[in-house]
Each structure stands twice: as structure tokens, then as C-alpha cells.
Amino acid sequence: MNNSGTTLTAADYIAKWDGTNWSALGSGSSGDGSLNYYVRALAVSGSNLYVGGNFTNVNNGGTVLGAADRVAKWDGTNWSALGSNGVGGGSLTNWVFALAVGGRDLYAGGHFINVNNGGTWLDAADYIAKYEISAITATDLAAFTARVNAQQHVVVKWRTGNEMNLVGFNVYRATKKNGTYKRLNKALIAAKHPGEILGANYSRTNKKVNAGKTYFYKLELVRANGASEWSAVRRVTLP
């Protein structure tokens, strides 16, 4: 896409118009677009944009989302998958042509049959299906902070109210609030009480930081159904 003379190499198949300029929604690992094929449907709920179409394996800033086949969510900063087939692929087996949001649910219509819900085939889910898009509530994430400690490291802490629908967490960092966020933990940080009404405290220390630099942190909550939700962004400037 060409924005008044500036070529937006990442604006493949989807872009945002703010009344003055066009911009891309994320990018792939080499500066091209996150989506690899046609978009057929859009739906908005709050700050989240749901996208359906022919695409597979959305590339979220260099991280390939194998489960983001034919439907995905853009939260203003990152792409995420909506569920999975239980083995790393997407739940939907073919193209999506229509999306609609009603309350806490996303409805999808298209060419797919037999939706795979986390490894369970839904034989009746032919051409239309519903996905629950619950938002983070205070009972899920009670607190999330990022602060500099005496050793000049950044300590990220969070507390859950309950973990009924959580399996783990990922901590992300960027050097710009709307920049590309990279995951700091190599493996998923497992929830301490998955499926239980109990909450817990967590802490991760980011030692690879530089004096005088500003960093932005956010937390991904990974739900039992494979969906992801994101915390607010926390800004930290080192002395």
C-alpha cells in the first residue's frame, strides 16, 4: 500500500485508516505483512478487531501463530489465535466469509465443516460456529507491575484473583509502546492453580536492560481454550 508516497510493505491484505493516514496492523519477520492471503470479513468488539478469510499461520512480528488459520484477533498491538485444533493448527478447516460479535461471543460463517475445538471435533459445526471471546476481568488479573530494582534490573510482577480459565503466561517487551513486542520467557510460564478458583503471585526479572533506556512490558494470559488476552502496557525508564 502507498500512503501519500510512502510504501507500507507490511500492509498486506489489511490496513487501518485513521482519517489522515494509512498504517499496517503489525508485520511479519521480514517487514512484510502479518497475513498471507485474503481477508473476507471483519468484526469489532471494544479495542479488538476480529479478522476472517483465507489466510493461515499469521506472522506476529516474527512469531508464527500456527493456530491462527482463517480467523484471528488484532488487539491494537499483537495478533493472536482463537483456539486451536489441539496440535498447533487452527480450529477452522476452510475459509471464513462472515463474522459478527454478540455479547461475549464471536460468530463465524464460511466454507468450513467439522470445527476442531482443541482436539475435539464438532461434527455439527458446519458452515457456522460460535467462539467465546471473554475479556480479562479483575478476578483473572488482579495486578500487573514493572519496576526497577536496586540492581538496576526490571522486575515484572503480577497477581491473579483466580485461575479458573488460565493455563499460563508470557511476558513481552518492546522499546516503543506501539512497537514490536518480543517474548522474554522461552517456555510458557505455567499457572500455579489452573482450573481452580485460587489466585497466585508471579515475578520475572529482566536483566538484559540498559541504563537510561525506556522499555514497555505487557502480559499475555493464555486461556484453557487456547485463546489469548493481554494486560495493559507498563512503562519503565531506567536511571
For residues 122 and 100, the answer to whether their CB atoms sit within 8 Å is no
The predicted pLDDT at position 197 comes to 75
The predicted pLDDT at position 137 comes to 53
What tens digit of pLDDT does each residue of 202-236 get? 999 999 999 999 999 999 999 887 888 899 999 99
d(CA 208, CA 215): 11
* CA nearest to 220, candidates 164, 165, 168: 168
Q: Which of 79-83, 130-134, 150-154, 214-218 has the lowest mean pLDDT?
A: 130-134
What tens digit of pLDDT does each residue of 118-146 get? 999 999 999 999 998 765 554 578 899 99
Q: Can you give the residue ranges of every domain in the chain? A: 2-132, 141-237
Q: Is the pLDDT of residue 16 over 70?
A: yes
Q: Strand 105-110 and strand 115-117: pairing?
A: unpaired
Q: Write the CA distances from 137 to 81, 103, 107, 141, integer angstroms.
A: 20, 15, 22, 7
What tens digit of pLDDT does each residue of 43-77 get? 998 778 999 999 999 999 999 999 999 999 998 99
d(CA 186, CA 125): 35
The predicted pLDDT at position 215 comes to 97
The predicted pLDDT at position 138 comes to 46
Pick the more confident residue, 135 or 189: 189
What tens digit of pLDDT does each residue of 101-113 get? 886 689 999 999 9
For 94, the grid coordinates are: 476452510
Cα atoms in the Cβ-side hemisphere of radius 13 Å centred on 148: 17
Q: Is the pLDDT of residue 40 over 50?
A: yes
The predicted pLDDT at position 220 comes to 94
* CA nearest to 137, candidates 166, 110, 177: 166
The predicted pLDDT at position 139 comes to 52
Q: Write the CA distances from 49 to 52, 55, 68, 164, 201, integer angstroms.
A: 10, 16, 14, 25, 31
d(CA 25, CA 16): 7
The predicted pLDDT at position 228 comes to 85
Q: Is the pLDDT of residue 163 over 90?
A: no
Q: Domain 141-237: what homologous superfamily?
A: Immunoglobulins (2.60.40.10)
* CA nearest to 236, candidates 184, 190, 168, 160: 184
* CA nearest to 176, candidates 214, 145, 231: 214
Helix or strand or coil: residue 38?
Answer: coil
The predicted pLDDT at position 3 comes to 86
For residues 53 and 109, the answer to whether their CB atoms sit within 8 Å is no
DSSP secondary structure letter of residue 72: E
Q: What is the mean pLDDT of the chain?
A: 92
Helix or strand or coil: residue 12?
Answer: coil
Cα 136 from chain centroid (whole Å): 13
* CA nearest to 141, candidates 236, 225, 229: 229
The predicted pLDDT at position 47 comes to 75
